[in-house]
């Protein structure tokens, strides 16, 4: 079986999880579930990024030890996963021994190979924030913002990783692998970025300034700084599980492509003689009501608020339907309600209600064998063939929003089919022809519902499971075989009713 190793970014633990974190998990989960359905042996990793200055500061501000602080916040991120029905196989924390061990091992290897050297680092340092500042932190008039307090130029001895010597190699690699980064235009941005010379990367901080990190194996007076620690998680999590490395996809947000994932990580791996990940999948950012998400401005969406009010699949559906992977999107409650009401409650929910209702009223609760079909049925079946044929390649290309649009087009067509056949009229006629058509229509709508649910399984796994249950149906082990229009439901005993998407209170 082909192995498919997919990862999310690991989240910083200096704040609670929000919609952006939730989106990345859901997107990656949809891909992981889709690949499993397609028969791959999937390994899905997520986790938390727990070292660094900010964590040390946040813990201090609360007067607790960093370890206690990261245990708490990492726990919140871990709790988000079942809330979103995420099917991850592993959860890594950078404070775990299995991770620290590998980071130290890799650092030592690079040091032994002469890829790491000691040099003076000169920069503007904020004592209040305990961090080096960058030119971009300056105000337009050249002064430093108030929050940094006193800023002084200091010189510090640190360890550097020889990034620059690999610049040409990286440009060459990207030129040869033009599908390394999805969407493709992001790869062009990386090549553009690489037109400027790279600096070697400072990978350490003196322990007297930053205690909360992994000590360098070759100099315990220093800890390793930020990216060297964080990026290695993808590898450390599978270091002793043969067959998974290299990763197939790292799913990340656009803010951490350049330089960490597109420059540092490939060069680190190359310098170590390790295979590179096959690809990076870069998603865009969610804003809320047109504004960047931030706790202070109050437009901070807590995923649990939506899963609590509307159910986990409503949120999963919205996030995947609304966002064109790679682009940015805006989250508003109004738009959420539009999709919830018209697509989920009215369109999809209605199909479920009608199918159960009609089968109970006119079929004694049993899905009948279809009688002869006519053009109306054949048209719906042809639409199904077309939809299935389009949706799978769309999912393979991460075009999930369009895949959902097409699937819902089929659901709309099935509802229209029911209107046209009007089983409630056929049910009143004693004509054998009408009775045969009634059986055909009941079988057709049930089969169409079963198929639509199968196609929605990766995005709405809980809903799909409920639908199969009320249809009295247990799917077989091979997903693709579930997508064939047939007679799998003939004789199935359906449930009385299922309310999937109850109507919410009107928009606030």
- Residues near ligand MSP (CB under 6 A) are 9-12, 20-21, 23-24, 49, 230-231, 233, 252-253, 255-256, 285-286, 293
With respect to ligand MSP, which residue has the nearer C-beta, 11 or 248? 11
Q: Are 394 and 402 in contact (CB under 8 A)?
A: yes
Q: Are 159 and 205 in contact (CB under 8 A)?
A: no
Q: Report the nearest approach of ligand MSP to the CB of residue 165 (Å).
A: 23
Q: Is 10 or 262 the residue whose CB approaches ligand MSP more closely? A: 10
Q: How far is the CB of 155 from ligand MSP (least distance, A)?
A: 28
The smaller minimum CB distance to ligand MSP, of residues 266 and 368, is found at 266
Phi first, then psi: give them for residue 283, nearest 5 degrees. Answer: -100, 165
Closer residue to ligand MSP in complex, CB, 9/70: 9
Minimum CB distance to ligand MSP, residue 263 (Å): 13
Q: How many other CB atoms are there within 10 angstroms of residue 55's CB atom?
A: 21
Q: How far is the CB of 336 from ligand MSP (least distance, A)?
A: 15
Q: Which of residues 17 and 371 has its CB atom nearest to ligand MSP in the complex?
A: 17
Compute the least distance from the CB of residue 55 to ligand MSP, in Å. Answer: 11
Please tell me the distance from the alpha carbon of residue 420 to that of residue 217, in angstroms, as a whole number: 73
Q: Which residue is nearest to ligand MSP (CB)?
A: 253
Residue that has been written with the tokens 């939809």 in this structure: 387
In the complex, least distance from residue 392 CB atom to ligand MSP, rounded to whole angstroms: 26
How far is Cα 114 from Cα 103, in angstroms, rounded to an integer?
Answer: 17
Residue with Cβ nearer ligand MSP (81 or 498): 81
Least Å distance between CB 246 and ligand MSP? 15
- Token pair for 14: 């200096």
Minimum CB distance to ligand MSP smaller for 300 or for 424:
300
Closest approach of ligand MSP to the CB of residue 507, in Å: 23
Helical axes 19-37 vs 66-83, angle rounded to 10°: 50
CA pair distance 435, 457, nearest whole angstrom: 33
Q: Where would I find the H helices in 158-260?
A: 167-176, 184-193, 227-231, 233-236
- In three-state form (DSSP H/G/I as H, E/B as E, the rest C), the secondary structure along 36-101 is HHCCCEEEEEEEEECCCHHHHHHHHHHCCCHHHHHHHHHHHHHHHHHHCCCCCCEEEECCCHHHHH
DSSP labels for 435-488? HHHHHHHHHHHHHHHHHHHHHTTTT-HHHHHHHHHHTT----S-GGGGGS-SST
**287 versus 490: smaller Cβ distance to ligand MSP:** 287
Q: Give the single-character DSSP code of 366.
A: B
């Amino acid at each position: 079986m082909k192995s498919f190793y997919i990862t999310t970014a690991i989240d910083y633990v200096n704040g609670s999880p929000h919609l952006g974190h939730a989106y990345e998990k859901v997107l990656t989960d949809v891909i992981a579930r889709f690949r499993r359905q397609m028969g791959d042996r999937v390994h899905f990793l997520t986790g938390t990024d727990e070292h660094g200055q900010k964590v040390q500061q946040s813990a201090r501000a609360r007067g607790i030890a960093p370890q206690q602080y990261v245990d708490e916040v990492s726990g919140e991120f871990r709790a988000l996963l079942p809330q979103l029905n995420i099917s991850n196989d592993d959860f890594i924390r950078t404070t775990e021994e299995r991770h620290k061990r590998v980071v130290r091992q890799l650092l030592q290897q690079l040091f032994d190979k002469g890829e790491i050297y000691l040099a003076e680092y000169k920069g503007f340092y904020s004592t209040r924030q305990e961090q080096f500042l960058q030119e971009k932190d300056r105000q337009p008039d050249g002064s430093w913002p108030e929050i940094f307090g006193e800023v002084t130029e200091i010189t510090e001895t640190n360890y550097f990783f020889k990034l620059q010597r690999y610049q040409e190699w990286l440009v060459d690699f990207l030129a040869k692998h033009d599908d390394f980064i999805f969407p493709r235009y992001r790869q062009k941005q990386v090549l553009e970025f690489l037109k400027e010379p790279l600096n070697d990367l400072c990978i350490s901080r003196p322990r007297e300034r930053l205690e909360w990190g992994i000590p360098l194996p070759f100099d315990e007076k220093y800890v390793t700084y930020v990216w060297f620690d964080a990026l290695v998680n993808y590898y450390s999590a599978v270091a002793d599980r043969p067959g998974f490395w290299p990763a197939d996809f790292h799913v990340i947000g656009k803010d951490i492509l350049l330089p960490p994932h597109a420059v540092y990580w490939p060069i680190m791996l190359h310098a170590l003689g390790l295979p590179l990940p096959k690809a990076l999948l870069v998603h865009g950012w969610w804003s809320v009501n047109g504004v960047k998400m931030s706790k202070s401005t109050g437009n901070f969406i807590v995923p649990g608020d939506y899963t609590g009010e509307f159910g986990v699949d409503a949120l999963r559906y919205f996030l995947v339907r609304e966002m064109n992977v790679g682009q940015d999107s805006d989250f508003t409650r109004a738009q959420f309600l539009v999709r919830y009401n018209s697509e989920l409650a009215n369109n999809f929910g209605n199909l479920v209600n009608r199918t159960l209702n009609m089968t109970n009223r006119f079929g004694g609760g049993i899905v009948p064998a279809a009688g002869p079909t006519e053009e109306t049925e054949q048209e719906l079946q042809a639409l199904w063939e077309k939809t299935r044929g389009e949706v799978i390649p769309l999912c393979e290309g991460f075009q999930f929003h369009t895949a959902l649009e097409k699937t819902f087009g089929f659901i709309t067509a099935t509802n229209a089919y029911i209107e046209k056949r009007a089983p409630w009229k056929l049910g009143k006629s004693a004509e054998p022809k009408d009775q045969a058509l009634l059986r055909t229509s009941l079988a057709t709508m049930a089969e169409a519902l079963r198929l639509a649910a199968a196609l929605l399984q990766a995005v709405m796994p809980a809903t799909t499971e409920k639908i199969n249950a009320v249809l009295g149906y247990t799917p077989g082990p091979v997903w693709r075989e579930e997508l064939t229009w047939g007679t799998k439901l003939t004789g199935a005993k359906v449930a009385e009713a299922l309310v999937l998407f109850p109507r919410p209170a009107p928009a606030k």
